[in-house]
Amino acid sequence: MSPETPATDVRSDALRLLSNGLYVLTACLSDTMHAATISWVSQVSFQPPLVMIALQRNSHLAHTVRKAHRYAVNILGADQQALAETFFAHVTAPVGTQALAGYPLRDGVAHCPLITDAMAWLECRLAAELPNPGDHSLLLGEVTGAGIRRQGAPIVLWETPWSYGGLSES
């Protein structure tokens, strides 16, 4: 994520009209829990229910998800910008810790750490890594579990001070 910067050309302006949200991806790999904020997420199939996420190709997060095979997408409410910002940096903690960066957790069915403050969550099984010649890895996940804690409007990236889209990260 980067602070809003002037768009360099019309492609950037148009790309930033894609309406992304902000989600915190969490996963557990051997003795360590991981969490980081992501934005490029879309459903891509009804039957079976499949969700695609795009992660920076050589990021710690992409490597973690590839090895863990299981991950959760924690959905944030419109009033949870601070939570989203906390996880712009990849956060880790030993398994057994009761919180990540101060946010309390519980263990999901597939043993993903779920952030209990989030509005809702999906647990996914990594189904495939899709070929992508670009700078992000496209990971296809089958939805294996889910829960809603409260109803409300989710956070939308364009209503925050941040952007993630266009021609470059900044």
Partner 1 sequence: MSENDTIKNILRMFNYGLFVATSASPDGPRAATVSWATQASFEPKLIAVAMRKGTAICQAVQASQRFALHVVGVNQPDFAKAFFKAPLGADGEMGGYRYGLSERGVPILGTAAAWLECEVVEEVNQSGDHAIFIASIVDADMPVPGVEALALRDTLWHYGG
Supply 120's token pair: 């809702």
The distance of closest approach from Cβ of residue 94 to partner 1 in the complex, given in angstroms and rounded to an integer, is 29
**Bridge-partner residues for 70, per DSSP?**
125
Which of 30, 102, 133, 150 lies at the binding interface for partner 1 (CB under 8 A)?
A: 133
Say which amino acid occupies 121: W
Largest CA distance in the chain: 48
Tell whether residue 99 is a contact of partner 1 (CB under 8 A): no
Q: Give the interface segment with partner 1, choosing from 29-37, 87-95, 96-104, 144-152 (CB under 8 A).
A: 144-152
Residues 61-80 that bind partner 1 (CB under 8 A): 75
DSSP states of the chain: -EE----SSHHHHHHTTS--B-EEEEEEETTEEEEEEE--EEEEETTTTEEEEEEETT-HHHHHHHHH-EEEEEEPBTT-HHHHHHTSS-EEEETT-SEETTEEEEE-TTSPEEETTSSEEEEEEEEEEE---SSEEEEEEEEEEEEES---PBPBGGGSSEE--SSS--
Which of 25, 34, 35, 40 lies at the binding interface for partner 1 (CB under 8 A)?
A: 40
Tell whether residue 3 is a contact of partner 1 (CB under 8 A): no
Number of residues that bind partner 1 (CB under 8 A): 55
Which of 32, 49, 101, 111 lies at the binding interface for partner 1 (CB under 8 A)?
A: 49
Which residue lies nearer to partner 1 by CB, 99 or 167? 167
Residues 7-36 that bind partner 1 (CB under 8 A): 10-11, 13-15, 17-21
Residue 31, number of CB atoms within 10 A of its CB? 8
Tell whether residue 122 is a contact of partner 1 (CB under 8 A): yes
Q: Which residues bind partner 1 (CB under 8 A)?
A: 10-11, 13-15, 17-21, 40-52, 54, 75, 119-122, 127-128, 130-136, 138, 140, 143, 145-148, 153-154, 156-158, 165-169
